[in-house]
Structure 1
Amino acid sequence: MRTLLFPPFLALLAIIFWSASLQIPSASVLDFECLVCHGVNVVKNPLWQLGALSLERDPPKQRSESEIVVASDSVTGLPSLDDQDRVFQLEIPSTSATASADLEGGEDEIDKQKEIGEFFQELQRNSSSTIADRNSTLEDSSQAGERPLQPPNDPSIARNASINPPSISSLTADGQEEKRAIQEVERLMQFLRRSGSGQVKKSPQDCQGRNVYVYDLPPKFNADLLKQCETLLPWMSMCDFVRNSGMGLPVSIDAARDFLTPRGSWFKTHQYALEMIFHARILDYSCRVLDPSLADVFYVPYYAGLDVMRSNFMPNVSSAQRDVLGDELMTWLTKQPSTWKTGDRRDHVIALGKISWDFRRMTSDARWGSNLLARADMANVTKLLIERHPWHPNDVGVPHPTFFHPGSDADITTWQARVLRDDVRPSLVAFAGQPRPGQAGSIRGELIRQCTARSDLCRSLDCGSRACFGPEATLGLFLASDFCLQPVGDSPTRRSVFDSLLAGCIPVFFDPFTAYYQYPWHLPSNGSAYSVMIAADSVTDVDIVGELQKIPFARRKEMRHFIVHEILPGIVYAQPGSKLEKFEDAFDVAMKNVIARVASREIYDSSELR
């Protein structure tokens, strides 16, 4: 009997040690597989097959700081917005000396209460708007739920070691089920792209059909969460990151950072700052209206990412407690004079600063995440996320915030010129990240090994000890390299993808879910125009540096120019109050497509593949 029990016992120990190395508890082996990759090319996961990831996890152990990789056209004279335009006098706890020392802002310690108040002062600025009557009639189908696309039985796919973006024709699959899984995702991406052109150059438009109303939520849904910046995470203060409308502390430009140009455009921005940045920008939106009866689109400024971040790491917190703010939001929205209660909510949008999985807890006894996006009343709302759920047609991926926040067209063109200044870069390949030796299926260790072995052509940066919290080290490395390796981490997407594009460094992907199936509005459908794809399961058999070296210099230059001119302006978030006339930034691109999507009222039909 002991002999029979011994192998399972060893397997259980292995799982526990693996989960400890990930800083994720061992509640469910299936969950870990999805957390590691989420891609259809690696794991065979019944939960993934159902298109609904179960996040039944224990609260993660507190991680040490060294293990954490952190990842406005104003017109005056308009009527005020009552409560929403008030300046919140927040009592912000002082940041610890350690956090202040680690975040080199190049300035004396700033009064945090004043800074957070200034954040909401910036939010109070009104924009001019052309009032247009709404001419659309909304259907009364508020209980119609978003139906996740059902992938076939086994989406696990083995791919060739091809340095090309994946497509149906290039996949090597065990059967038709696998092809259908990818085909369904690709069809969904085509559907999402249909609503806009993704262009980054502006054309004059009036506000007919483009009026946006921003809900004046009680402060507990946003401002009060910022008050808790000292304790949102147990291992570090977030107070410096919520300054300047979520852009964070400005980067002090000295001799070591003089490549960060122009001055005044660079900030130490947290990778989870999307909600604050988007809120500040939308309150400055040129077609914002103050009367909900005139609106075509409704924006919900709930900082759900900060809420779930806070609750995930609180001790002894039940699922009901993690959901309480979301429940209160639904109750509040139901009482408002809008289409939330009477319509189907397809005219509503929310930006969420964390990945989709953190808001899709499927069971009441799970110990991680909220159920915000698992609710029927959120099904038809357009969700803008830094990482979307691949099977949900109303999840849309938008860029992670980068460190660059231009204030004008000139800021963008100045940085574009800097990126393209040197045709020949000192390094061929770069990687910024940590090895994750205990993470099953991780290829990072192998990539670092290959990079170290070819130190004449490849450079790596260990992002431990907050080395990648600011732009200096990361952007310096990427600006000096032709290709930037982008392996998956705890989830498929990486902020580093957008840092590399910002530096004109061609991203090298190992999973299509890192970018190709994430950002339909901000990245072109032709992945080969700006990136390289290498199958993750072929990394140990391929000389990555050698294969990239085979790509001709002329082709690298062509791809870099495409990235800088066609992609870069549309993946950065401009400062609130910015004066962009020639370019559309990431916010502009997102709003243009949201408005087009609401106007079209298209419903994705996957019945042909079932």
Structure 2
Amino acid sequence: MALKNSATTISSFLCSVPTLFLSFTAFLLTLSISFFFLFSNPRTQFVSQITPSESHDSIKVYVADLPRSLNYGLLDKYWSSAPDSRLSIDSDRQITSTHVPKNLKFGPYPENPLIKQYNAEYWIMGDLMTPDDLRSGSFAKRVFDAAEADIVFVPFFATLSAELQLGTAKGAFRKKMGNEDYERQREVVDFVRKTPAWKRSGGRDHVFVLTDPVAMWHVRTEIAQAILLVVDFGGWYKLDSKSSNGSSSDMIGHTQVSLIKDVIVPYTHLLPKLQLSEDQRRHKLLYFKGAKHRHRGGIVREKLWDLLVNEPGVVMEEGFPDATGREQSITGMRTSDFCLHPAGDTPTSCRLFDAIQSLCIPVIVSDNIELPFEGLVDYSEFSVFVAVSDALRPNWLVGHLRSFSKEQKDKFRRNMSRIQPIFEYDNGYPGGIGPIPTDGAVNHIWKKVHQKLPLIKEAIVREHRKPAGVSIPLRCQCI
């Protein structure tokens, strides 16, 4: 009866259509046309005024005008400095004498594995430095007026700055006096905080790349409101008791990082990519290479080591993928079905991305892990997630991994091969200046930053309407 009455009403409205079927069809057509014009008109009254960009296929980026000494100048400093005191063999000193041309405007990033794993800052900057006519594949559109920008990118090579200090005078790192890294941090923060762009937004739309867990160590509270590109939050919640001397004033506040405003980015993998077509028979069950003894969350790693070290089909090796260790890691990861990824000093490491490039199924034992590009990538399609409590049960983990069929493992590897490019930074151009892969890490970073913009714009508007003298306490934006 209700359908009949609706048809009568529609027929009466259309006047010229006598049948129920045609009336209903005409109604749907009219409704579709109305929705088309409503949502295709960019000036419709329902479009929010804080939409981050007129176009959803780009993000507008302004690059803060920092001096060269704070980015590419640090590369010049690195290549002219003494060998890294933390490495027994410094391969970069060999590279610089044979493969690095003199007077390069944009030098290569170090191959030193302690530094290379954090080189996202180099490739992101390279994208922004690429001429506009070559940047058609980038999700970021560079603008030269901060007032037009969605975000302000701060081009400080914070990781390289920190690692230069750690590699030459580690003892001065936690101090401010005699610490060149601290002086550079101070210069960056003092510069950006004086700019009109920072004053308009309180820094909330500024982007810092802090992939090294100790990058910008001394000034983190001053940039906490900005968009931070980090590999995880493990180095942000607190200092270990030894370094903080038990003083609560040295503890890092949990309000400084948040999945709402910040972006988790991949480590740079240190091992070469294995194509699915090149994959061969894997005769080991589980592989791990790394340091057994770590701080904080790494206690789980030590317990796992003791449980697994004598298990048949399991290989546990001590070491880091430097010259010798790299070859061991390549062999180990390419001949094992699964690669163990337990927490260390922080919840994640470049080991995860080495495993992905090696088509070795990651076994993630880290309850508090944050992963890059979630929402764009479903890690459960190619990884095994295990609760710490289960992993530490005797004989449980090996039995669980043996329960996966060949078909399941093959499916994991097929899925992994499809997402390998997402974790690639390198664009193949000298100095990193050149078109980036549309499906690579840099573009996915820009897309994740773009997703943050509506709430960041809202926070800026809320701050502007706050009466003078009123302070709103920082709160954990937990999700």
TM-score bracket for this pair, using the shorter chain length = 0.5 to 0.7
Deviation at 1:214, TM superposition (A): 1.9
The one-letter code of the counterpart of 1:339 is A
Q: Which residue of 1 aligns with 2:269?
A: 402
Q: Which residue of 2 aligns with 1:62?
A: none
- In the alignment, the residues of structure 1 paired with residue 457 and residue 170 of structure 2 have an alpha-carbon distance, to the nearest angstrom, of 41
Q: Say if 2:328 is the partner of 1:473.
A: yes
Query: Contact 1:351–1:383 (CA<8 Å) still a contact in 2?
Result: yes
Q: Which residue of 2 aligns with 1:463?
A: 319
Q: 1:77-88 maps to which residues of 2 (within 5 A)? A: none
Question: 43, 48, 67: which is aligned to 1:218?
Answer: 67
Q: Say if 2:236 is the partner of 1:380.
A: no
- In the alignment, the residues of structure 2 paired with residue 494 and residue 601 of structure 1 have an alpha-carbon distance, to the nearest angstrom, of 28
- In the alignment, the residues of structure 2 paired with residue 210 and residue 523 of structure 1 have an alpha-carbon distance, to the nearest angstrom, of 17
Q: Which has the higher contact order (CA 8 A, sep 6+)?
A: 1
Matched residue SS, 2:186? helix
Q: 1:418-497 maps to which residues of 2 (within 5 A)? A: 418=277, 421-422=279-280, 424-436=281-293, 442-455=299-312, 457-464=313-320, 466-467=322-323, 470=326, 472-497=327-352
Residue identity (%):
22
Query: Contact 1:269–1:401 (CA<8 Å) still a contact in 2?
Result: no
Q: Which residue of 2 aligns with 1:306?
A: 160
Question: 223, 232, 235: which is aligned to 2:86?
Answer: 235
- After superposition, the Cα gap between the structure-2 partners of 1:548 and 1:247, relative to the gap in structure 1 and judged at 3 Å, is farther
Query: Contact 1:387–1:518 (CA<8 Å) still a contact in 2?
Result: yes
Deviation at 1:564, TM superposition (A): 1.7
- In the alignment, the residues of structure 2 paired with residue 246 and residue 136 of structure 1 have an alpha-carbon distance, to the nearest angstrom, of 43
Matched residue SS, 2:217? coil
- Compare 501-510 and 383-392 and name the one that shifted more: 383-392
Q: Which residue of 1 aligns with 2:387?
A: 535
Encode CA deviations 1:137-190: one digit per residue, 9 max, x unaligned: 89xxxxxxxxxxxxxxxxxxxxxxxxxxxxxxxxxxxxxxxxxxxxxxxxxxxx
- After superposition, the Cα gap between the structure-2 partners of 1:383 and 1:580, relative to the gap in structure 1 and judged at 3 Å, is closer
Matched residue SS, 1:485? strand
The one-letter code of the counterpart of 1:592 is K
Question: 169, 184, 188: which is aligned to 1:325?
Answer: 184
Structure with more helix by fraction = 2
The one-letter code of the counterpart of 2:311 is R
Q: Say if 2:426 is the partner of 1:574.
A: yes
Question: 188, 208, 218: which is aligned to 1:371?
Answer: 218
Deviation at 1:327, TM superposition (A): 2.4
Task: Name which one, 1 or 2, has greater alpha-carbon Rg.
Answer: 2
Q: Under a length normalisation based on structure 2, what TM-score does the superposition of the two structures give?
A: 0.64
Query: Contact 1:385–1:398 (CA<8 Å) still a contact in 2?
Result: yes
The one-letter code of the counterpart of 2:199 is K
The one-letter code of the counterpart of 1:436 is H
- In the alignment, the residues of structure 2 paired with residue 206 and residue 505 of structure 1 have an alpha-carbon distance, to the nearest angstrom, of 39
RMSD, aligned CA: 4.0
- In the alignment, the residues of structure 2 paired with residue 316 and residue 310 of structure 1 have an alpha-carbon distance, to the nearest angstrom, of 11
- In the alignment, the residues of structure 1 paired with residue 188 and residue 83 of structure 2 have an alpha-carbon distance, to the nearest angstrom, of 20
- In the alignment, the residues of structure 1 paired with residue 350 and residue 423 of structure 2 have an alpha-carbon distance, to the nearest angstrom, of 11
The one-letter code of the counterpart of 2:446 is M
Query: Contact 1:398–1:522 (CA<8 Å) still a contact in 2?
Result: no
- In the alignment, the residues of structure 2 paired with residue 435 and residue 314 of structure 1 have an alpha-carbon distance, to the nearest angstrom, of 23
- In the alignment, the residues of structure 2 paired with residue 293 and residue 478 of structure 1 have an alpha-carbon distance, to the nearest angstrom, of 48
Encode CA deviations 1:11-61: one digit per residue, 9 max, x unaligned: xxxxxxxxxxxxxxxxxxxxxxxxxxxxxxxxxxxxxxxxxxxxxxxxxxx
- In the alignment, the residues of structure 2 paired with residue 239 and residue 467 of structure 1 have an alpha-carbon distance, to the nearest angstrom, of 11
Query: Contact 2:75–2:107 (CA<8 Å) still a contact in 1?
Result: no
Encode CA deviations 1:247-270: one digit per residue, 9 max, x unaligned: 5459xxxxxxxxxxxxxxxx9972
Deviation at 1:608, TM superposition (A): 10
Matched residue SS, 2:66? coil
- In the alignment, the residues of structure 1 paired with residue 58 and residue 162 of structure 2 have an alpha-carbon distance, to the nearest angstrom, of 34
Query: Contact 2:193–2:203 (CA<8 Å) still a contact in 1?
Result: no
The one-letter code of the counterpart of 1:531 is S
Q: Under a length normalisation based on structure 1, what TM-score does the superposition of the two structures give?
A: 0.51
Q: 5+ residue gaps in structure 2? A: 1-46, 101-105, 238-253, 460-473
Deviation at 1:497, TM superposition (A): 0.6
Deviation at 1:387, TM superposition (A): 2.2
- In the alignment, the residues of structure 1 paired with residue 324 and residue 226 of structure 2 have an alpha-carbon distance, to the nearest angstrom, of 34
The one-letter code of the counterpart of 1:541 is R
Question: 191, 204, 210: which is aligned to 1:346?
Answer: 204
- In the alignment, the residues of structure 1 paired with residue 229 and residue 83 of structure 2 have an alpha-carbon distance, to the nearest angstrom, of 22
Matched residue SS, 1:331? helix
Query: Contact 2:297–2:345 (CA<8 Å) still a contact in 1?
Result: no
Q: Which residue of 2 aligns with 1:500?
A: 355
Q: Which residue of 2 aligns with 1:42?
A: none
